Structure 1
Amino acid sequence: MKVFLTSLFACTFFIFTPLAPVLAQENSASMDRSPSISKKYSDGATGTELLELYKRPAPSWVYDNFKKLNEAGYLSGIPYNDLTHLDRQEAAILTMRAHNNYSILNTNISNNVILAILQPLLKEFHLELDALGDSQSAQNEVKSTKTSTVNIWNIPKGKWDVYGEIRYSQMLNSSNNDRYNWNDQRIRARIYGDKPLDDIWMLRTMAETDKSLSSHNFYNKSYDGHVKLKRVYLKGTPYIGKAHIPVNTELGWTSAYLSEGNVLDSSFHGIKLSTNGNNYDDNTWLYSMGYGKINNDDNNLFYGELFYNASTNIVLNSNFYSWDNYGKKDNIYSASVNYYIKNTNLGFMFLNASEKDANNNGTGYVFTIRLGKNKSSILGTHELTFKYYDMAQYTYINHTMSGLCGYMNGFNGYGINFYYTIFPHVKLGIEYYDLKDKLTNDNIRTLWNEITYEF
């Protein structure tokens, strides 16, 4: 524990010292945010955070949208000199007025054109609209549109939205088997780039470098510390068939997070599709499927997932995964139920694999309790998660946990994760796992800590 606290202090000093000017700049009232940065503040806040958010200046790009809405009569003829130097609360009120008028006015201007102007404002000021009591109707209005001509990206066409993160992490392991008694620390940096190609399609990219700071180096010299392009894919929502069904699509070198990460959390090279069907106002069902390559393109994977919102609090999920498993075909089935009460989640997942381990076991289950909801953009938000696992060897492909289950022949045990936002876009994470190999009975304890800065 002494080693852990020392390293945690060191990594905190390492990250915060160069970031101090940046964080000071973020608190400046004169700072003008681009759409890509300001949207990070629109994911929920309460109390003091919301009041501070109200006082921030509105992004410069919103004025052109407001002027167009004003000219079309959706702001009731506000003088142009009143459409300057707005704070976010004032801009949200104007957005609410435009949305209300959009719902009742009948003009000779195409609704699709107005919605294309209004929708980025609704997304930008979602948090403020929620506080003003207009968020739900506004979001339903956007969600129910049946057109593919609206620019949903909130980024000007042809422009790049660039953002990223830097993470320092440390792993401390202890086991009754000496092969697991090693520690590791590293710095990882990721740069993301999004570029809208048209009203439907966006090009998304991600470059990564991961540098080991310890003697126990997982990477060979051709990768360690080098910059690699890890994701390049198209993302869009084309409307398919006579029924005009919107299908969320990802095509290319992307990633997959399957069965809450219990089956797979990894890169995915292929195509992913999902849709709620042709009823735009009904999110009761979500259908998802994909086909591609995983594990450095060594294995093919096909999957299908079905989500059912049984009520406002209960979500049911049934999934099927079929992958090559290095020449040994393995089919994995999973089913789960999640119960939500505000920011509390209770979950249970059952898994079954066609391939059996040496003890003829092919089943697994996961219990989840999550309290709170961490948002990296909002100071003080936090979440605590407890999970209990009992998973046979072939019930998972690449598990999402930071523990060493990937080295084990199936495992059981528990994990506790805690994440806390100590500054806006600066997040501290601590995870602890106590796992036992289901075949060898090796016990492995892992303490993982990280600090991540998003920009």
Structure 2
Amino acid sequence: MKKSLVLAMAMALGVTASAYAANPFSDVPAGHWAYDSINKLAAAGVIEGYGDATFGGDKLMTRYEMAQIVAKAMAKGANVDKLAAEFADELDNLGVRVANLEKKADNVKITGEARYRYWDNDYNKKADKSTDALRSRIWVKGAVNDDWTYTAMLENIQTFQHDNAGEETTKFQRAYVNGKLGGVAVQAGRYGFTDFTGGNIYDTRMDGGQVAYGKDVKLTLGAGKAADAAFAKVAKNDGSKADNLYYANLAGKVGVVDANVGYYKFEDVTTLSDDDSIWTVGVAFPVLKDLKLGATYLASDYDKNNADDDGYVVSLDYKGAKAGVAGSWGLFAKYYDQGVGTYIAHTMNGQCGEFGIAEDGFKGYQVGANYTFAKNIVGQVEYYDLEAKEGSKEAKTFYGQVNFMF
């Protein structure tokens, strides 16, 4: 029975006896009558043997094991109709199991990035303060069903040149779901939130949820708890997390112009005021081929100490490095004039707040460039020249990074 079965299966796959000379199983000697057929079936992936590198030719085979072999042979195009009919029930069960396993294998996607970052800061004309670090992130995304997904992110940061040189932190930084309820897109959990001005107000984590409706004109509403503000001078000085954050944004396109109107309310976030509400209006449009101009106006309700409570940001972007296209590149520039209360955790890599400018409001410029050295390896450099809107504080920062994506 076994002899005829092995020969029949090998013939169905078109075995040529000398095609595979290597011996994958220690208990099948070269002179064995089934040597060539077994080698062919093993090379084709139809049979696998046992974990100890043996074929186990003397062992009795279960119907389920036989059904596995038949299924693999059928997948290779073998004509095994009689065997398929004999093991129809087992193949039906196996087919369900294989389909589920294949679906499960494709259900979870793991991606990541490793970013080397370097800062060189000149604050108030004092000695330079340089810092470099390696930030690694692992992203896991799984399909819950056809409409819902789960995303998580683990982050590790290792500092090098710093007062805390060699310091390392590893945190579970993201865990959220995305899905649809009717025509409404839903996101909930701990997610990264970049405000709709491009991060001129807030760009870090939050614990909460948001809903969005519409395509050409989209309304987004969100609420939750803000993470610690990026700027120590603006964050609550007791080390606790910020309190509630509410936001709403309406975005659409008029001809070639992208426009949006937004509202953000932070409760008990800053040392300056218990609450801070910010209104924004923004537009972006092409002015030349590959050149885009953007402008955002921001107004807060901070009205203490006669401080400037509104501001604006103007940006220019030319082309842009694409991770999948080696040799692609881009240039960008921004001019900031932001009063106190118009930002909580700014997206800028220059981190002006760490150097005493944030609590006074600031103005100045940023210029930068990015370039794709090879597929999924992108470098970027930025330079900031900023000064406080009140007093003589200033900060100049060079920032560079290389990002490896996988």
Bin of the TM-score, shorter chain as denominator length: 0.5 to 0.7
Q: 1:336 aligns with which of 272, 277, 282?
A: 282
Partner of 1:423: 374
Equivalent pair of 1:289/1:305 in contact (CA under 8 Å): yes
- Between the aligned partners of 1:397 and 1:454, the Cα distance in structure 2 is 29
Alignment correspondent of 1:52: none
Pair member with larger Rg: 2
The 3-state SS of whatever aligns with 1:358 is: coil
Structure 2 CA distance for partners of 1:232 and 1:342, relative to 1, 3 Å: farther
Match for residue 266 of structure 1 among 197, 201, 204: 204
Q: What corresponds to 1:249 in structure 2?
A: 186
Pairing 1:22-37 to 2, within 5 Å after superposition: none
Q: Structure 1 runs of 4+ off > 4 angstroms?
A: 155-158
Q: 1:214 aligns with which of 140, 157, 161?
A: 161
TM-score (norm 1): 0.60
Structure 2: 5+ residue runs without aligned partners?
1-74, 77-102, 229-240
Q: Deviations over 1:213-269 (max 9, x none)?
A: 012349xx9xx4232100000011221xxxxxx222110010111021111110011
TM-score (ref. length: structure 2) = 0.67
Matches within 5 A, 1:9-408: 159-178=107-126, 181-217=128-164, 224-239=167-182, 246-258=183-195, 259-276=197-214, 283-296=215-228, 297-311=241-255, 313-324=256-267, 325-326=269-270, 328-340=274-286, 343-356=290-303, 358-407=305-354, 408=357
CA distance in 2 between partners of 1:318 and 1:156 (Å): 42
Q: Root-mean-square deviation (CA), in Å?
A: 2.1
| CA distance in 1: counterparts of 2:350 and 2:305, whole angstroms | 23
Decide whether aligned partners of structure 1 residues 346 and 375 sit closer, same or farther in structure 2, where only a CA change above 3 A counts.
same
Higher strand share: 2
Partner of 2:198, secondary structure, is helix
Query: How far has the Cα of 1:380 moved from its partner?
Result: 1.2
Deviation at 1:345, TM superposition (A): 1.2
Residues 247 and 264 in structure 2, CA contact (< 8 A), matched pair in contact too: yes
- 1:303-353 Cα shifts (integer Å, max 9, x gaps): 000112111x10111100000124611100110111135532101110000
The question of 1:443 aligning with 2:357 is answered: no
In the alignment, the residues of structure 1 paired with residue 370 and residue 306 of structure 2 have an alpha-carbon distance, to the nearest angstrom, of 37
**How many Å separate the matches in 2 of 1:299 and 1:217?**
29
Distance 2:343 2:104 in 1: 41
Check conservation: 1:322, 1:332, Cα contact below 8 A.
yes
Q: 1:357 to 1:165 in 2, by over 3 A?
A: farther
**Alpha-carbon distance, 1:356 to partner:** 3.1
How far the C-alpha of 1:156 sits from its partner, in A, is 5.9
1:168 is aligned with what amino acid?
Y
Cα distance change on mapping 1:381 and 1:158 into 2, 3 Å: closer
CA contact (8 A) 1:157 1:195 kept: no
Secondary structure of the 1:406 match is helix
Structure 1 pair 436–217 and aligned structure 2 pair: CA distance change class (3 A): farther
Query: 1:405: Cα distance to partner?
Result: 2.4
Return the alpha-carbon distance in structure 2 between the equivalents of residues 167 and 228 of structure 1.
Answer: 16
SS in 1 for 2:107: coil
For the residue of structure 2 that corresponds to 1:360, the secondary structure is coil
In 1, are the aligned partners of 2:311 and 2:338 still within 8 Å (CA)? Answer: yes
- Contact 2:307–2:339, Cα closer than 8 Å, also in 1: no
Residue 156 to residue 441, structure 1, CA distance change in 2 (3 Å): farther
Contact in 2 for aligned 1:357/1:393 (Cα 8 Å)? no
